[in-house]
Amino acid sequence: MYGTHSKRDMDIEYQSQVPILRPSIHARRAKITVKFQDLYGFTVEGNVDDVNVLNEVREKVREKGKVWWALEASKGANWYLQTHVSSTLKTSLKFSALVNAITLKKLIRKGIPPVLRPKIWFSLSGAAKKKSTAPDSYYEDLTKAVQDKVTPATKQIDHDLPRTFPGHPWLDTAEGHAALRRVLVAYSFRDSDVGYCQGLNYVAALLLLVMKTEEEAFWMIAVLLENVLVSDCYNKNLSGCHVEQRVFKDLLTKKCPRIVAHLDALEFDVSLVCTEWFLCLFAKSLPSETTLRVWDVLFNEGANLLFHVAMAIFKMNEEELLTVHHVGDVIHIIQRCTHQLFDPDDLLTVAFDQIGFMTTTTISRQRKKQEPAVMAELDQRLRRLNSIKADDEQ
């Protein structure tokens, strides 16, 4: 496994959020471009200010962990895994579990220490429970059974392996490609309705860097697609993803009406940038530590968090977006912002504090509202393709 796993023993932790005086993202104008590695070995291009921000993030990672270690000392090891409030618990234990759950939610929003991420993600996401319902040798038996099989999914996986984070010191090696292939191929046989969808390669690759084993990365993929995310996001026609795009546009219209009105005037479709966000869970768009901070919350609070983050990106760039008059400029502004978000707090502060609360009921209602239109559109598209195919065969 990649070298970051040996770094789990290092003192890399998180502190409480502390205001740091530095130039904003939009104020960075240093002309010197440098290359540097982030916390997970990805080579990033940026300016001197970006390097300084990344150094600040490294320091915050070390300091924030002191809060977690102090809680472990007072509450006991693994206290964060004891947050389920069951009706069978005694009143005192219910209160203790509830306090732990509230404390944990606040802490997770500030970031999980990298050394604790594998254990906390595996438990809170439901992956551990899902794995416990299968035979102990499930993953090993599955990978052995399908290793020589060839399907359209395996062919696409093989095509995408060298294009998944090229240049990474572990992922872009024969060992990294082999590990990623085993995880993706195994899941393609576990769920034939999904098979393999482009975008999953980036999600699985980042999970391999974080989790302790391939097997744990596999079960994290399973719980993501089967429980955490909306159903059908990665099926063959991406119907769930299309629904999420429409829901996002509706929510953005309510939360950021000026932006939407301006983008509509430019005939800009938000799916041009958001499809990749929802399919890759920001793994291809945001710096690695920022992505993982988003995933910290995703595995604890659920898929609605993705809407908060996506809207925050537009909100952070609202004033600049309102000044542009071309679709290409919109894409440039959004991509520049996401690539430079080295400090996760810049993004998550807006996502949690400025976007406002959105209930699960509200979002579920929006999904049900959009589903018929999406299915009708996909059906019409299929009929059109079949008609073209029939004409070609005549």
Per residue in 281-305, pLDDT tens? 999 999 999 999 999 999 999 999 9
Inform me whether the pLDDT recorded for 335 exceeds 80. yes
Per-residue confidence band for 61, with pLDDT thresholds at 50, 70 and 90: confident
Can you tell me the distance from the alpha carbon of 174 to that of 23, in angstroms, rounded to the nearest whole number? 41
- How much is the pLDDT for 218? 98
Residue range 160-170, pLDDT digits in tens: 999 999 999 99
- How much is the pLDDT for 19? 36
Are 82 and 97 within 8 A, CB to CB?
Answer: yes
Q: Picking from 26-30, 64-68, 236-240, 319-323, which range would have the lowest pLDDT averaged per residue?
A: 26-30
Residue range 1-33, pLDDT digits in tens: 444 444 333 333 333 333 333 444 444 444 688
- How much is the pLDDT for 390? 66
Are 115 and 12 within 8 A, CB to CB?
Answer: yes
Can you tell me the distance from the alpha carbon of 224 to that of 125, in angstroms, rounded to the nearest whole number? 8
- How much is the pLDDT for 31? 64
Between 62 and 346, residue with greater pLDDT: 346
- How much is the pLDDT for 200? 97
- How much is the pLDDT for 220? 98
- How much is the pLDDT for 235? 85
Can you tell me the distance from the alpha carbon of 20 to that of 22, in angstroms, rounded to the nearest whole number? 6
- How much is the pLDDT for 268? 96
Between 82 and 153, residue with greater pLDDT: 153
- How much is the pLDDT for 83? 67
Can you tell me the distance from the alpha carbon of 325 to that of 266, in angstroms, rounded to the nearest whole number? 7
The residues that bridge with 36 in the sheet, in sequence order, are: 44
Q: How many helical (H) and strand (E) elements, i.e. helices and strands, does the chain have?
A: 18, 2
- How much is the pLDDT for 92? 54
Inform me whether the pLDDT recorded for 39 exceeds 90. no
Between 201 and 63, residue with greater pLDDT: 201
| Token duo for residue 11 | 């003192």
- How much is the pLDDT for 236? 83
The gap from C-alpha 170 to its chain's centroid, in whole angstroms, comes to: 20
- How much is the pLDDT for 316? 97
Q: Report the topology of domain 237-388.
A: Cyclin A; domain 1 (1.10.472)
- How much is the pLDDT for 393? 67
Residue range 218-273, pLDDT digits in tens: 999 999 999 999 888 898 888 889 999 999 999 999 999 999 999 999 999 999 99
For 166-175, the CB contacts below 8 A with 24+ separation are 167/43, 168/41, 168/42, 168/43, 169/2, 169/3, 169/41, 170/1, 170/2, 170/3, 170/4, 170/41, 170/209, 171/2, 171/205, 171/208, 171/209
Residue range 171-193, pLDDT digits in tens: 999 999 999 999 999 999 999 88
Inform me whether the pLDDT recorded for 389 exceeds 90. no
Can you tell me the distance from the alpha carbon of 383 to that of 385, in angstroms, rounded to the nearest whole number? 5
Inform me whether the pLDDT recorded for 344 exceeds 70. yes
Q: What is the mean pLDDT of the chain?
A: 87
DSSP state of 326: S
For 104-110, the CB contacts below 8 A with 24+ separation are 104/80, 104/300, 105/300, 105/301, 107/67, 107/68, 107/71, 107/80, 108/296, 108/297, 108/300, 109/296, 109/297, 109/348, 109/352, 110/14, 110/16, 110/17, 110/64, 110/67
- How much is the pLDDT for 10? 37
Q: How do the domains of the chain map onto residue ranges? A: 30-65, 111-226, 237-388
Which CATH class name applies to 111-226?
A: mainly alpha
Can you tell me the distance from the alpha carbon of 228 to that of 178, in angstroms, rounded to the nearest whole number? 26
